[in-house]
A = this chain, B = another copy of it.
């Protein structure tokens, strides 16, 4: 990507960081340890969630860096042929989001300088209004240039208990970033009554974990707040583009503190008055469970499965063999969702709104109302020792 793709000359490009971790347990049996959520096309968009994330960032980013687990490196490289191999950073083991994002930020600082703007965006979210997203990132970049750690605040479309919230304070006066507001604080996932109170004030946004900052600003905050973690990350980053990378990584990485970027940086820096937010409405979804998929996958308008959302060959094992049309048929089942990665004929008869997930070794039949309980099913399989199904 070159500077010429910048559509608003007043906003600088960022270096995009995409932490790609987490299995997406609530989407079992579609998502598995070895086929995590971000590697799947869960919305029938014709591209996987991580491919969508990278594509969406192209208009606002100079480079893309992905941090993922060793186990998923090959699959990520396969799915992202446009991302240079040197920008795919493999973690030897999961050390939570601060280590992952911190390492990427430090490597970018070494490669592009500490003034470089970085922006971190999860690999497994969807956004329908990309223009609104780009506008928010551009404002965030301008605020970040001015020294802020910036988070994008998602307009809450309901009193969700599934997300943490950002509390916005007074406006910030940065040219060309009119929506910027100081962040008064972050909250954990609230209960329903508290969430409703948040919404009523008009000052709360969902925290989607999107952070934009100068690399040097982020790393300086980390050095001040978590000096050991910062030192470890800097050691690895300094060795990254040298022959010593593997040796240093193996020695230092395992002892890095496991902590989320929210706790390590966002909360304490916000308390000190250093975090800004750009509120935005962009049709965002974290694809958190089958209830989300029911909303994200359009129902077929004709054919044997009319009225049903069908997600064929969603990227899991065996999906390559799947024929497209005609494998799912439905009668009297409007609003149902079928996700299938097998060759079987799936027939729904009189089951409106049902969720059927059909994979070669596991079948889940549930409803959107039970989407959050899927995690418990996976926990049960784990307790049973059925690692082959996880």
Quick check: A362 and B344 within 8 Å, CB to CB? yes
- How many copies make up the complex? 2
Q: Which residue of B lies closest to A351 (CB)?
A: B365
Asked if A263 is at the interface of the complex by the 8 Å CB criterion, the answer is no
- Identify which of A212-220, A248-256, A280-288, A372-380 touches chain B: A372-380
Query: Which of A29, A366, A381 neighbours the largest number of chain B CB atoms within 10 Å of its CB?
Result: A366
Quick check: A363 and B345 within 8 Å, CB to CB? yes
Quick check: A331 and B363 within 8 Å, CB to CB? no
Q: Report if A350-B362 is in contact (Cβ < 8 Å); known contacts: A345-B386, A373-B331, A377-B331.
A: no
**A374 partner, pick from B349, B365, B374, beta carbons under 8 A:** B349
- Would you give the shortest CB distance from A64 to chain B, in whole angstroms? 37
Quick check: B362 and A365 within 8 Å, CB to CB? no
- Identify which of A12-20, A44-52, A196-204, A352-360 touches chain B: A352-360
Quick check: B344 and A364 within 8 Å, CB to CB? no
Quick check: B349 and A354 within 8 Å, CB to CB? no
Quick check: A362 and B345 within 8 Å, CB to CB? yes
In whole angstroms, how far apart are the Cα atoms of A77 and B253 in the complex?
Answer: 68
**Which B residues are in CB contact (< 8 Å) with A364?**
347, 349
Q: Which residue of B lies closest to A350 (CB)?
A: B370
Quick check: B366 and A350 within 8 Å, CB to CB? yes
**Which B residues are in CB contact (< 8 Å) with A346?**
362-363, 365
Q: Which residue of B lies closest to A374 (CB)?
A: B349
- Would you give the shortest CB distance from A2 to chain B, in whole angstroms? 49
**Which B residues are in CB contact (< 8 Å) with A349?**
364-367, 370, 373-374, 377
Quick check: A347 and B332 within 8 Å, CB to CB? no
In whole angstroms, how far apart are the Cα atoms of A348 and B351 in the complex?
Answer: 14
Asked if A369 is at the interface of the complex by the 8 Å CB criterion, the answer is yes
**Which B residues are in CB contact (< 8 Å) with A376?**
331
Query: Which of A304, A359, A370, A381 neighbours the largest number of chain B CB atoms within 10 Å of its CB?
Result: A370
Quick check: A361 and B332 within 8 Å, CB to CB? no
* Range of interface residues on A (Cβ < 8 Å): 35 or more
Quick check: B347 and A363 within 8 Å, CB to CB? yes
Quick check: A373 and B350 within 8 Å, CB to CB? yes
Quick check: B367 and A363 within 8 Å, CB to CB? no
Asked if A174 is at the interface of the complex by the 8 Å CB criterion, the answer is no
Q: Which residue of B lies closest to A364 (CB)?
A: B347
Q: Report if A363-B373 is in contact (Cβ < 8 Å); known contacts: A329-B380, A380-B329.
A: no
Query: Which of A332, A363, A367, A381 neighbours the largest number of chain B CB atoms within 10 Å of its CB?
Result: A363
Asked if A132 is at the interface of the complex by the 8 Å CB criterion, the answer is no
Quick check: A389 and B331 within 8 Å, CB to CB? no
Quick check: A363 and B366 within 8 Å, CB to CB? no
Quick check: B354 and A351 within 8 Å, CB to CB? yes
- Would you give the shortest CB distance from A196 to chain B, in whole angstroms? 25
Quick check: B344 and A361 within 8 Å, CB to CB? yes
Quick check: B344 and A366 within 8 Å, CB to CB? no
**Which B residues are in CB contact (< 8 Å) with A366?**
347-351
- Would you give the shortest CB distance from A348 to chain B, in whole angstroms? 5
In whole angstroms, how far apart are the Cα atoms of A375 and B366 in the complex?
Answer: 25
**Which B residues are in CB contact (< 8 Å) with A358?**
363
Quick check: A361 and B345 within 8 Å, CB to CB? yes
**A365 partner, pick from B365, B377, B384, beta carbons under 8 A:** B365
The digit string for A104-146, where 1 denotes a CB below 8 A from any CB of B, is: 0000000000000000000000000000000000000000000
8 CB < 8 A contacts A-B = A329-B377, A329-B380, A332-B370, A344-B361, A346-B365, A349-B364, A349-B365, A356-B363
**Residues of chain A having any CB pair with chain B under 8 Å:** 29, 304, 326, 329, 331-332, 343-351, 354, 356, 358-367, 369-370, 373-374, 376-377, 380-381, 384, 386, 389
